[in-house]
Amino acid sequence: MKVGVIGSGGREHAICFSLKNSNKIKEVFCFPGNAGTASIATNIDIDLNDFKKLKDFILKNQIDFVIIGPEKPLVDGIVDYLEKFNIKVFGPNKVASQLEGSKIFTKKLCEKYQIPTAKFGIFLNSKSASSFLQKCSFPIVIKADGLAAGKGVYISENYSDASKAVDEIFNGKFGKAENLLIEEFLNGEEMSFFIISDGTCFKIFGTAQDHKRVFEGDKGKNTGGMGAYSPSRLESDELTQKIINNIIKPTLEGLKNLNCEYKGFLYAGLMIVNGDPFLIEYNVRMGDPECQTLLPKLKTDFSIIINSCIEKKLQKLDIEWHEDKSLCVVLCSKGYPDAYKKNIEIDLKKIDLKKNQYIFHAGTKITDNKIVSNGGRVLNIVTRSYDFKSARENSIKLLNEINWDNGFYRKDIGYKVIQ
């Protein structure tokens, strides 16, 4: 079979890698891909906003199915568009993608189906938001409604910070804003919980914990993710049952009542407060770097899992995992998440990967036969091991061997599970 993968990050490299390991897959095309995908797939440089060009290429090259990695094309309706041309696609449609595309859509669904989440209010202008904030206790959370690449969330410690956040959102920092959300601050521990669904049934697809802040000790600005580990230390049968019954099932039921079947990965960002899960956000895709952390643990052929979803046969499939731990450290360009240099060479020629070690590229490309940096997050170093401590040690050993002058990384990924 021939497969197409849409996206260019570490998540998509890990997806291409898992597909390539299947003897059912003859060829992988990655749109547009990076230097890592170039070594195992054919990179095709098409603008992801140009659905028509993508469709023409997929049909012309008789690609059997397509996996959508990032949220933007999903929220923009790429699945609905490609399916109109009878292309098989793995990913949720436009209606379902509002779970990530509109925080207010999700909050209203939570309200209707009594899904536990932070208490919230929706405000249409800065005046009403500010007068509400004068009566609030702090910290409080302020969120832009639409997609903001993980940046549209403020946790404000006082009135002055909060009203600055409100102004920034209404002044269009994250795109035109007709409203915003103010919500209660939940004090607990975060957990990422993944399922995969074929529209009629779903299976759990693992748990993870990512580290969003740029500096060690979870300090500094939010980023796309500086590292992750799987499984989450909070994972237990009791918690899983609560997440499934109180959050996942009512969400899928709510979508069904909108005539919408959910097909794809669904990523619930949860806050666990005194043993009870609260929904913070949904993402309608795998997490990045959680995907790179999780996929190496998969035993079952990834292409069979995706195909079963597309064929609505997931029910019959048993998804099997390696029992060990997995930990990912992200190598970033100095300066990220603010300004950073691009086009700096990264020499990986002498790097020897040990068993159960993986390098997944993110912001890289090939120029004059050399790998050069092309983004803020550059490489993902993943190690699977019997414990998190040795997984981290081995990832850091590899980072020392790579010894990239222009880079930095967090040495404390997984500190809550490593003594």
What 3-state DSSP class applies to 90? strand
In sequence order, which residues have a C-beta less than 8 Å from that of residue 286 and are 6 or more positions away? 11, 15, 69, 194, 265, 267, 294
Q: Choose among ligand GLY, ligand AMP, none what residue 225 binds, the Cβ cut-off being 5 to 8 Å by kind.
A: ligand GLY
- Pick 101 or 296: Cβ nearer ligand AMP: 101
Q: Choose among ligand GLY, ligand AMP, none what residue 186 binds, the Cβ cut-off being 5 to 8 Å by kind.
A: ligand AMP
Q: Choose among ligand GLY, ligand AMP, none what residue 288 binds, the Cβ cut-off being 5 to 8 Å by kind.
A: ligand GLY
Query: What is the residue whose two structure tokens read 């580290």?
Result: 211
Interaction residues for ligand GLY, span 136-175 (CB under 6 A): 150
Q: How far, in Å, CA of 172 to CA of 167, rounded?
A: 9
Interaction residues for ligand GLY, span 260-299 (CB under 6 A): 283, 287-288, 290
Distances (CA, A) of 405 to 6, 336, 338, 380, 400: 30, 14, 18, 16, 10
Q: Which stretch binds ligand AMP (CB under 6 A): 159-167, 180-188, 307-315, 362-370?
A: 180-188
Q: Which of 71, 100, 145, 183 binds ligand AMP (CB under 6 A)?
A: 183
- Least distance to ligand AMP from the beta carbon of 271, Å? 6
Binding mask 215-254 for ligand AMP (x = CB under 6 A): ----------------------------------------
- Pick 53 or 212: Cβ nearer ligand AMP: 212
Strand bridging mode 65-68 / 2-7 = parallel
Q: Does residue 227 interact with ligand GLY by CB under 6 A?
A: no
- Least distance to ligand AMP from the beta carbon of 153, Å? 4
- Least distance to ligand AMP from the beta carbon of 282, Å? 9
Distances (CA, A) of 209 to 22, 149, 269, 398: 27, 18, 10, 22
Q: Which stretch binds ligand AMP (CB under 6 A): 37-45, 167-175, 178-186, 348-356?
A: 178-186
Q: Is the separation of the CB atoms in 133 and 162 below 8 Å? A: yes
Query: What is the residue whose two structure tokens read 């923009």?
Result: 76
In sequence order, which residues have a C-beta less than 8 Å from that of residue 287 and are 6 or more positions away? 11, 192, 194, 208, 210, 225, 228, 267
Q: Does residue 280 interact with ligand AMP by CB under 6 A?
A: yes
- Pick 209 or 308: Cβ nearer ligand AMP: 209
User: If binding means CB under 6 A, how many residues of this protein chain bind ligand AMP?
Assistant: 15
Q: How far, in Å, CA of 241 to CA of 331, rounded?
A: 35
Q: Does residue 213 interact with ligand AMP by CB under 6 A?
A: no
Q: Choose among ligand GLY, ligand AMP, none what residue 290 binds, the Cβ cut-off being 5 to 8 Å by kind.
A: ligand GLY
Q: Does residue 12 interact with ligand GLY by CB under 6 A?
A: no
Q: Is the separation of the CB atoms in 224 and 411 below 8 Å? A: no
Q: Which residues of 188-226 are buried (b: 16+ CB within 10 A; e: fewer)?
A: bebbbbbbbbbbeebbbbbbbbbbbbbeeeeeeebbbbb
Q: Does residue 106 interact with ligand GLY by CB under 6 A?
A: no
Q: Does residue 269 interact with ligand AMP by CB under 6 A?
A: yes
What 3-state DSSP class applies to 389? helix
Q: Which stretch binds ligand AMP (CB under 6 A): 5-13, 148-156, 170-178, 403-411?
A: 148-156
In the chain the first and final C-alpha atoms are separated, in Å, by: 45
> Which residue intervals of 331-370 are DSSP H helices?
none
List the one residue out of 223, 336, 290, 262 whose CA is nearest residue 95: 262
Interaction residues for ligand AMP, span 83-142 (CB under 6 A): 118, 141
Q: Does residue 337 interact with ligand GLY by CB under 6 A?
A: no
Q: Which of 36, 225, 254, 337 binds ligand GLY (CB under 6 A)?
A: 225
Q: Which of 64, 145, 183, 210 binds ligand GLY (CB under 6 A)?
A: 210
Whether the bond between 231 and the residue before it is cis, its omega within 30 degrees of 0, is: yes
Q: Which residues bind ligand AMP (CB under 6 A)?
A: 118, 141, 150, 153, 155, 183-186, 190, 212, 269, 271, 280-281
